[in-house]
Copies of this chain bind each other. A is one copy, B any other.
């Protein structure tokens, strides 16, 4: 990939009509705007929750954690598909994946006290289906783990 596109998140390369996602769409004014980057063989995102994203006071809401995994997983699948197909984000159209299933294990309460770091790695890759493993770390501790099955967006879901 070119230096320039390496520095931008995969979500910044999604087609405009597929960039309204609440979790990661650059065109959703009220959304979370998660950004997923390549990092060697893996992928990484960083997200800092707001005070409202609480479960019980002091801890991060599990639904937010699932949301971050959702968008980091589909973004990781898009990055993996680009690599496999020899596509260069920024030059070529980027494939868009959606979630078929998501399993989250909440290993310990996640402190609501700063940045959360997500890492992703590819477990299985087929042409239009990618299984992504992920971790969510807060303050150096892995607080949640996930596995997401992503599929390339079906025709009937395209705007």
Chain A interface (Cβ < 8 Å from any Cβ of B)? 17-18, 20-23, 25, 28-31, 52-59, 61-64, 66-68, 70-71, 96, 98-106, 109, 153-154, 156-159
Chain B residues contacting A25 (CB-CB under 8 Å) are 54
Query: How distant is the Cα of A153 from the Cα of B103 in the complex, in angstroms?
Result: 21
| Choice from B63, B106, B109, B154 contacting A156 with Cβ under 8 Å | B109
Query: How distant is the Cα of A1 from the Cα of B9 in the complex, in angstroms?
Result: 52
| Choice from B67, B104, B158 contacting A56 with Cβ under 8 Å | B158
Given contacts A62-B99, A106-B101, contact A54 B156 (CB under 8 A): no
| Choice from B30, B57, B64, B66 contacting A159 with Cβ under 8 Å | B57
Given contacts A56-B157, A70-B66, A159-B56, contact A21 B61 (CB under 8 A): yes
Query: How distant is the Cα of A101 from the Cα of B66 in the complex, in angstroms?
Result: 10
Given contacts A20-B57, A102-B103, A159-B58, contact A52 B28 (CB under 8 A): yes
Among A56, A70, A102, the one with the most B-chain Cβ atoms within 10 Å of its Cβ is A56
Given A56-B98, A64-B67, A67-B67, 13 other A-B residues pairs in contact with their CB atoms under 8 A = A17-B56, A21-B56, A22-B63, A28-B52, A29-B52, A55-B98, A62-B98, A63-B63, A66-B67, A98-B106, A101-B105, A103-B103, A109-B157
